[in-house]
Structure formats: C-alpha cells, structure tokens
Amino acid sequence: MTHAILSCNGLDKPEGSVAREVAIRAAAATGSEIICPVLLHRAPARYKKALSENAVIVVDGCSTRCASKLAESLDIKVDRKVLVSDVLKSSGIALEPTLNLGPNGVGLAQAVVDGLLQSLNASSEPAPSAVSSVVFAPPTEHLVVTHDKFEFRIPVADYMFNENDVWVRAVDDVARVGISDYMQQSLTDINFFDAPKTDAVVDQFGELGSLESAKAVFEIIAPASGTVVAVNAEVVANPGLINEDPYGKGWLVEMKLTNWPEDRELLLKPEAYAKTVKHKAEEA
Amino acid sequence: MSDTTFMGVPRDKIPWFPTIDYDKCNYCMECDTFCPHRVFERREGDRKLVVANPNHCVVFCRACSKTCGPDALSFPNKTEILALIKQIRAEESAK
C-alpha cells in the first residue's frame, strides 16, 4: 500500500518542526507523497488524486492537532496518526527550544520515523486473528434513558460500566470492551480509533487508546485490569461502527482479565449506569 | 456538582482536576471550549483562565489536556487517586 503524508507545517513549536522532519524522512523512506497543509487548505483539489489513491498518515506536532483537524474538516479518511508531543513525553528526550532542529530534535524525528515504519511493516503482514472464540451475543433488551429529544440505550444483559462511559462484558476471564451509547452520541461521528497495542497490560482506569471525532478526543478509560489480546480490526478500518452499534459490532478491544473479582466492585450495573447517564445528560 | 459522588465517594473528597502551568499556557482557550463540564472559567487580568470548578471535572478524564498544544495542563497520578478512592470506600463500609 502506498501512502500520502499530511503533516504539521512546523512553524509554531519545536514539536512541529520535528513533525515536518518526520514527514520528509518518512516520505523518502516509503516513496510517499507529502501533503502541504497550507496548500491543502487553500486548494484541496491539488491533492485530490493523492488522497484518493493512498492511505493517509497524519503527523501532528502538538495537541493542537492542526493536521488532524484539517483532515477532519475535509472528510479525509486517515489510516494512521502520529503525535510527536506524545512520543516526546515517553522518550525522555529533551527537545531543543528552537524551530531549527538540534541533535535531539533530529534524533526524535528519526525515532518517530522508525516507529512509523515498523508499524507500517507490521500491518502489511497478515496478522493471525487473536479474537477470542467466546460468543458475545448481541444484546436484545435495553433500558432507555430519555433527555429532551435524545434517547440513550443501555443493555440489561451482562454489561457493566465505569463512570467514564466505558462498558465491559466478561465471560470467565475474557472480556469485550466498548463505549456506551451515551458517549457515542456525545462524541457524534467518530472518525478515528487510536487502538492500544495487543499485549498491552493495562490497569483498571488506565488508558485503552482513544477515539476522535470532530468534536472531541475521548480517552478510553479501562473498566478492568488485564492484557489486551485483540483489537477490533473492523472498527479500526471503519470507526463509524461505534456510532452504529456501540454494544455489538462497535466493540473496541478484547482483554484477558487479571483482577476481575475486585475490579467489578468499582463498576456499575446497567440500572445504576442509567441513573448516571440521566444525571450527566441533565448537567451537560 | 459538588454534592455528587464518584464510585460512591463524595466528589469533593477526590482531588482529581487539571492544574494549569501558567508559564506554558498561551490562553488559546481550547480546553475551555472543549470541556462540557465548565471546569474552567475565563477571567480578566493576568490569569485569563482558571480552574474555577474542580469538582465538575470527571474523575480520570484527561481529555482537555489532549487539546492543549503547549502542554500546560497536568493531572494527579491515577494510581494514587484510585488507591485513595478504595481507601475511602473501605472506611465508609467499615462504619
């Protein structure tokens, strides 16, 4: 698969300069086309062919996420994203405070490119499905919380919720995780699922990746402790499934649970979560 | 919202809310625009943005920090806050 790279233009912060360098180096390494954000904004037709024929990689410098927001505003489907400021935090590198990249900035850019290339190579090889053989039948019965013209569904079956609007459904020590109908409606159209890595070990209330919509970035807060054993590839390819079917086809990850008897004590059953949703809807 | 609870613990006993680093904040107001819970308030004067309603902040949510370009928002350690919540719950159930 070929790629087009839409990057921060790198003229506001050092992290942006790193993003720009990442785009140049990654394009050279992969033969990808670079999409200039300023020209894309001014004359989107210039890149119509490149965007329609290639998988798009977005490289943001900082959390302002100008490149991501530009992609959202133009309905560009994004294949993967890199946020330099996140990589910087986890790298321990002290970035020089200038727009001209110093040795540390260049090193960070190359580290980001290496990670990106590794991820591209990994996803080009067919991965064996790690989705469990457990059957999670679609819910058939729901509680409905009504507020103004909105209706929020909550399945009454074996779903449990944290107060951060994430559900978990456990069968023995395997569980599926997703977000509630209330949250998917709050986010509106979800256009990107930044999934956790399989084999990631997560504590209860730790981070299980994030979701992005035009409205917000939503940190997925783990409802239980465990190891991520599978990511819903259909949702990665089509995040709109979360909006269409948040409790079924829109599940996000499967986990092997490590502390379920204790973790479940800090979760809500559907009836209690319905009260929480009612309260949140009234306060919003 | 200070009369609300989180996991059965009174919200005002849980010190989870953002802290603004005023050396970094550029007052772009992205966080205030984003947050639907009115945690922040805009003010006149040197500090044009303050955390006015800390107990409105959704415990464990750090979404506003993900909108912050200059990385001026920080939150407490999740593990320590969770331990505190469990401790308060245990104390309450022992009464």
Q: Which of B4, B59, B68 sits opposite A63 (nearest CB)?
A: B68
- A7 has a pLDDT exceeding 70: yes
Average pLDDT, chain A: 92
* Interface contact B58-A284, CB threshold 8 A: no
CA pair distance A101, A98, nearest whole angstrom: 7
Q: What is the mean pLDDT of residues A56-72?
A: 94
What are the start-end ranges of the H helices in A6-102? 14-30, 37-42, 48-53, 66-73, 84-91
pTM for the model stands at 0.84
Across the interface, whether the CB atoms of A163 and B69 are under 8 A apart is answered no
Going by pLDDT thresholds of 50, 70 and 90, the confidence category of residue B52 is very high
Q: How far apart are the first and last CA of chain A?
A: 43
A–B CB contacts, 8 A cutoff, strictly below: 57
* Residue A123 binned pLDDT confidence (cut-offs 50, 70, 90): low
Q: Tell me if B60 and A217 make a contact (CB, 8 A cut-off).
A: no
Map residue A13 onto helix, strand or coil.
Answer: coil
The answer to whether A142 touches A156, Cβ cutoff 8 Å, is: yes
On whether any CB of chain B is under 8 Å from the CB of A224, the answer is no
Return the top range by mean pLDDT from A210-224, A241-255, B2-16: A241-255
Shortest alpha-carbon distance between residue A185 and chain B (Å): 14
What kind of fold does domain A142-283 have according to CATH? Answer: OB fold (Dihydrolipoamide Acetyltransferase, E2P) (2.40.50)
Domain boundaries, chain A: 3-124, 142-283
* Higher per-residue confidence, B94 vs A242: A242
The full set of domains in chain B, from first to last, is 5-78 (3.30.70.20)
Q: For residue B6, give the chain A residue with the closest CA.
A: A163
Minimal C-alpha gap between B68 and chain A (Å)? 5
Predicted pLDDT at A126:
46
How far is the CA of B59 from the CAs of A172, A220, A224, A228, in angstroms? 28, 13, 16, 23
The angle that helices A84-91 and A14-30 make with each other, rounded to 10 degrees, is 100
pLDDT of residue B20: 98
Between A280 and A21, name the one with better pLDDT.
A21
Residues 15-74 of B with CB under 8 A from A: 28, 30, 34, 36-37, 58-63, 65-71
Which pLDDT belongs to residue B2?
A: 42
pLDDT at A124: 58
B6 close contact with A: CB closer than 8 A? yes
pLDDT value at residue A121: 85
B60–A13 C-beta distance less than 8 A? no
Helix then strand then coil, % of chain A, to nearest 5? 40, 25, 35
B93 vs A: CB within 8 A: no
Residue A111 above 60 pLDDT?
A: yes
